[in-house]
A and B are shown apart, each in its own frame.
Chain A
């Protein structure tokens, strides 16, 4: 499903974020990515979603060598990936419903189908009753769940989450992890970057550790 072969990433600033990374994920697998701050976790996730391009090596996602993807093929490719960040990146000038509907609108879907799908996604994160509210009015945990609903509304094959529980207290964090597990059980391949060691270990999944490289 996701395969890295000798992947390195050096930012234009000269910062070497990843060096010679090799790993593979099976379809339907749920994996945690851990390592110290600055080890390159965020960079690795960005490479999968083509938010950054690798400096070296090959990345295969869904059977496609994405490092060779042309610019115009990147938008449709991203629609198969749901991304969640530590900061929810919700748009505060519109309602929860509108936020979650955004990925569907991008595909040109019809209004009534959008309504159905958005409500289903909000239902899965137990926020159906908050759909008309502005994200600003929600608690941090709820905002993060809206972000998850937006990431999964498109029924992506791959879900990537970068420190999704970073701002949450342990109980809420555990809750969010269970939500991801549910999506994994529904068939999605899930990769979560986190440095919360106890939380990760409690989930009983494969863990990939990134070592920080000393230049």
Chain B
């Protein structure tokens, strides 16, 4: 019996935290090693997780970029009046002065055809070519900023104004910038909903993939689990390496998805930049910022943990030790 008392004293030398930390370290190292135990299935699982994660991440990025495209214009919707070629600069300026008196209109800016041509030349770099033209093909333009009341539908107000402006004899055509912005805005709203649905489905996929992988792992290690149980392992001890396994799947899957999104971005960047210079815009695709990167890794890690937890919990509830 002397043996026994000695055992107890020894055991007491280890503080609760010491023991816990030993366990956590061992479980982390062990679960990491397990990933290389069957590299092919690990990579397949990681790829499935990464692809499932990169779709919502990429979609999010796409929407974010669309939004920056519309944001600055949504604040100041303007209506451009393209005047007939026969209208002189003086007539145009008079009309501008009259229009700015109207209640519905906040401000009118007159852009002469000469200014417009010069600006066009600057933006496109075709300045010299344009100088060889005999006639300036551009019309005078009045850029009208409507005075929108806070109440009422912005869309309807602007449409009414456009109809009204079209009736002036000098006006050739009217283009409301607001229209495409509004349409884009509506499309973004729909796309956002789609993003939510797709994200929910794909995150569920990640949960199932991790859960199933861990479940298979548990099946393969039934013997080990039973043995550790009959020599006195707690449920927490048995659960721990599997939970870390889930964490690694989630985290590494998340990292790979970030790499995928990054390369997709690099792939898209040159054509997008060419397109935006063609439109005289400085728009360029922006990548995932720090916050998003962190969020994606956090979500993927959590999904891994939860998936593993569900799988292990189910197993531990189901069985006592069978030997």
Interface residue? A41 (CB, 8 A): no
Complex formed: what's the CA distance from A75 to B11 in Å? 15
Find the B residue at minimum CB distance from A106: B233
CB-based contact B11/A78 at 8 Å: no
Question: Taking the complex as formed, is A157 at the interface, i.e. its CB lies under 8 A from any CB of chain B?
Answer: yes
Question: For the complex, what is the distance from the CA of A103 to the CA of B228, rounded to whole Å?
Answer: 8
Q: Of A76, A81, A110, A187, which contacts B4 at CB under 8 A?
A: A187
| Interface members, chain A 47-91 (any B CB < 8 Å) | 49, 51-52, 72, 75-79, 81, 83, 85, 89, 91
A49–B230 CB distance below 8 A: yes
B120 at the interface (CB under 8 A from A): no
Q: CB-CB < 8 A to A155: which residues of B?
A: 3-4, 6-7
Contact with A along B1-28 (1 / 0, CB 8 A): 1111011001100100011101100100
Q: How far is the CB of A158 from chain B (nearest CB, A)?
A: 10
Name the residue on A nearest B220 (C-beta).
Answer: A93
Kindly state whether residue A2 has any CB partner on chain B within 8 Å: no
Docked complex Cα distance between A39 and B3 (Å): 33
Q: For the complex, would chain B's binding face be called helix, strand, loop or mixed by DSSP majority?
A: helix
Residue from A77, A79, A108 in contact with B18 in the complex, judged by beta carbons closer than 8 Å: A108
* 8 A Cβ contacts from B266-322 to A: 320-321
- Residue numbers in B under 8 Å from A49 (CB-CB): 230
Contact check, A105 vs B26: say whether CB atoms are below 8 A apart.
yes
A79 with B6: in contact, given A91-B227, A105-B26, A106-B237 (CB under 8 Å)?
no
CA–CA, A27 and B4, complex, Å: 11
A residues 86-133 in Cβ contact with B at 8 Å: 89, 91, 93, 102-103, 105-110, 113
Over the window 24-55 of chain A, the binary record of Cβ atoms lying under 8 Å from chain B Cβ atoms (1 yes, 0 no) is 00011000000000000000000001011000
Decide if A108 touches B234 in the complex (CB within 8 Å): no
Nearest CB on A from B312, distance (A)? 16
Are B232 and A79 in touch, CB under 8 angstroms?
yes
On whether A106 and B18 interact (CB within 8 A), knowing A51-B320, A89-B227, the answer reads no
Kindly state the separation between the CA atoms of A35 and B223 in the bound complex, as whole angstroms. Answer: 28
Contact of B230 among A51, A105, A108, A113 (CB under 8 A): A51
**B232 & A108 in contact (Cβ 8 Å cutoff):** no
Main secondary structure of the interface of A (DSSP, over half): loop
Q: Which range contains the number of B residues in contact with the other chain? A: 20 to 34
Q: Check B224 for interface membership: any CB of A closer than 8 A.
A: yes
Contact of B133 with A by CB under 8 A:
no
Cα(A157)–Cα(B3), bound, Å:
8
**Contact between A107 and B11, CB atoms less than 8 A apart:** yes
A150 pairs with B231, CB closer than 8 A: yes
Interface check B40, CB cutoff 8 A? no
The answer to whether A75 and B232 have CB atoms under 8 Å apart is: yes
B6, B22, B231, B234: the one contacting A83 at CB < 8 Å is B231
B223 and A75: CB pair below 8 A? no
The answer to the question of B44 belonging to the interface, with a C-beta cut-off of 8 Å to chain A, is no
Q: In the complex, how many angstroms separate the beta carbon of A120 from the nearest chain B beta carbon?
A: 12
With the chains together, A91 CA to B18 CA distance in Å?
A: 26
* CB of A189 to closest CB in B, whole Å: 9
B1/A51 in contact, CB under 8 A: no
Query: Does B323 lie at the interface of the complex (its beta carbon under 8 Å from any beta carbon of A)?
Result: yes
Q: Which one of B1, B19, B223 lies within 8 Å of A91 (CB-CB)? A: B223
> Whole-angstrom distance between the alpha carbons of A5 and B211 in the complex?
45
Do the beta carbons of B231 and A108 come within 8 Å of each other?
Answer: no
A75 and B20 contacting across the interface, CB-CB below 8 Å: no
Within the complex, what minimum Cβ distance (angstroms) separates B291 from chain A? 38
**In the complex, what residues of B have CB within 8 A of residue A51's CB?**
230, 320-321, 323
A110 to B6 alpha-carbon distance, docked (Å): 16
B22 contact from A72, A103, A108, Cβ within 8 A: A108
Does A108 contact B3, Cβ atoms closer than 8 Å?
A: no
Residues in B whose Cβ lies below 8 Å from that of A81:
232
Query: 19 A-B pairs, CB-CB below 8 angstroms?
Result: A49-B230, A51-B321, A52-B320, A78-B232, A79-B231, A83-B230, A93-B224, A105-B22, A105-B23, A108-B18, A108-B19, A108-B22, A109-B19, A154-B7, A155-B6, A157-B1, A187-B2, A187-B4, A188-B3
20 new A-B contacts, CB < 8 A, other than A81-B232, A150-B231, are A28-B1, A49-B230, A51-B230, A75-B229, A75-B237, A77-B232, A78-B232, A79-B232, A85-B323, A102-B227, A103-B231, A105-B22, A105-B23, A106-B231, A108-B18, A108-B22, A109-B14, A157-B4, A186-B3, A187-B1
Pick the 4 closest A-B CB pairs, nearest first: A108-B19, A78-B232, A79-B232, A155-B7
